[in-house]
Copies of this chain bind each other. A is one copy, B any other.
Amino acid sequence: MDTAAPLSPTARSTVRRGAKRARTDRADLHAVLDAGLIGHLGVQVGDAPVVLPTGYGRHDDTLYLHGSTGAATLRAATGAPVCFTVTHLDGIVYARSAFHHSVNYRCAVVHGAARLVTDPDERLLGLEVLTEHLAPGSWAATRRPDRKELAATAVLALDLAEASVKIRTGPPGDDERDVEGADAADPVWAGVLPVRAVLGEPEPCPLLPPGAAVPPRVAARALSPAG
Mark A residues whose CB is within 8 Å of B.
12, 16-17, 37-38, 40-53, 55, 67-68, 70-72, 81-85, 87, 89, 91-92, 94-99, 101, 103, 105, 107, 109, 111, 127-128, 131, 134-135, 138-139, 141-146, 149, 153, 171-172, 174, 178-179, 184, 187-209, 212-215, 218, 221-222, 226
Whether the pair A94, B218 counts as a contact (CB closer than 8 A) is yes
- Given A139-B98, A141-B188, A197 and B194 contact (CB-CB distance below 8 Å): no
User: Taking the full assembly, how many copies of this chain does it contain?
Assistant: 2
* Shortest Cβ distance from A77 into B: residue: B49
Can you identify 29 A-B contacts, CB atoms within 8 angstroms?
A12-B45, A12-B50, A16-B72, A17-B67, A17-B71, A38-B89, A38-B105, A42-B50, A47-B81, A49-B49, A49-B51, A50-B83, A51-B83, A51-B85, A55-B103, A94-B135, A96-B143, A98-B139, A98-B142, A98-B143, A101-B138, A142-B188, A187-B209, A189-B213, A191-B204, A193-B200, A194-B200, A195-B197, A195-B200
Cα–Cα distance between A146 and B72 once the two chains are bound (Å): 46
Cα–Cα distance between A153 and B102 once the two chains are bound (Å): 14
* Shortest Cβ distance from A206 into B: residue: B171
A67: B residues at CB distance < 8 A: 17
A128: B residues at CB distance < 8 A: 98
Whether the pair A197, B197 counts as a contact (CB closer than 8 A) is yes
- Given A196-B198, A197-B196, A208-B190, A131 and B101 contact (CB-CB distance below 8 Å): yes
Cα–Cα distance between A134 and B44 once the two chains are bound (Å): 29
